Homo-oligomer: A and B are copies of this chain.
Amino acid sequence: MVTGPITSLTNSRIKAVVKLRKRRQRDATGTFIVEGYRELLRLIESGSSPQTLFVSHELFIGSNEPELVARCRNAGSEIIEVAADPFRKASYRDRPEGLLAIVDQFDTSLEQIPLEADPLVLVVESIEKPGNLGTMLRTAEAAGLSGVIVADPTTDPFNPNVVRASIGTLFAVPLAITDSSTAIAHLRTAGVNIVATTPDTPLPHHQADLTGPTAIVIGSEQYGLSTDWLEGADTKVMIPMPGSVDSLNAAMAAGIVVFEAVRQRF
């Protein structure tokens, strides 16, 4: 189905997109915004497709966009042509690429994460910054993790800044959202070794065995891990750091411990 083109800045469909920047509106509609070629390509490659795809040909920067639009159309997405100015209003980016979709939120229950055959899971507790969560999802995808558990999130993973920072890996990595006590019980029942990262422990991360079923747990930027995780952990590890602990960003700390586990499993 093709509608449009939209030429008015006050078009109701454009306004509806802008509203989805608010979490309340995302929760109420069960949808979120996915913008950009790379992000939408990963969505399609995950076997999903947008509800609605807003397209502004004038803003295309590459030559592959029409093919992606065709794939969405074939998958049943509503395609809406939009003039450059209203598209810029709907866009969340400084330099819009002419592709922006409304997508159904997906299932983020713990069952999404496969826990067979020595799984390697990243757990992030109460992460605050969308950019950090997005970066962690990218790192999880690169490391081929079994999945990412977002425990007690203060930023929701459907935030447009998470989607952007994740460059769409949000659609490639199994993702669960839950509270910490449920996550701990779930991992324990599955026999997964819970490895909490904290500066307040003597064991270097590289001296811990990260080869069996393992969940690496990273705390919030500001407060680190809660006592739930520190007391629920089987192992506590720290990253040896010749410089200042507070210099290491939470996403970087996650990447360093995750890739140490990848090294041990090499």
Interchain Cβ contacts under 8 Å between A and B, 16 examples: A135-B252, A138-B248, A138-B249, A141-B244, A142-B241, A142-B244, A142-B247, A143-B243, A172-B244, A204-B263, A206-B266, A240-B266, A241-B262, A252-B252, A252-B255, A259-B260
Q: Interface size (A, Cβ < 8 Å)?
A: 33
- Contact partner, A242, options B144, B167, B244, Cβ 8 Å: B144
- Contact partners of A139 in chain B: CB under 8 A: 247-249, 252
Is A256 part of the contact surface with B, judged by Cβ < 8 Å? yes
Contacting residues of chain A (117-165) with chain B, CB-CB under 8 angstroms: 135, 138-145
Is A245 part of the contact surface with B, judged by Cβ < 8 Å? yes
Q: Within the complex, what minimum Cβ distance (angstroms) separates A49 from chain B?
A: 21
5 tightest A-B CB contacts, nearest first: A144-B242, A142-B247, A144-B243, A142-B248, A141-B247
Q: Which residue of B lies closest to A204 (CB)?
A: B266
Contacting residues of chain A (45-74) with chain B, CB-CB under 8 angstroms: none
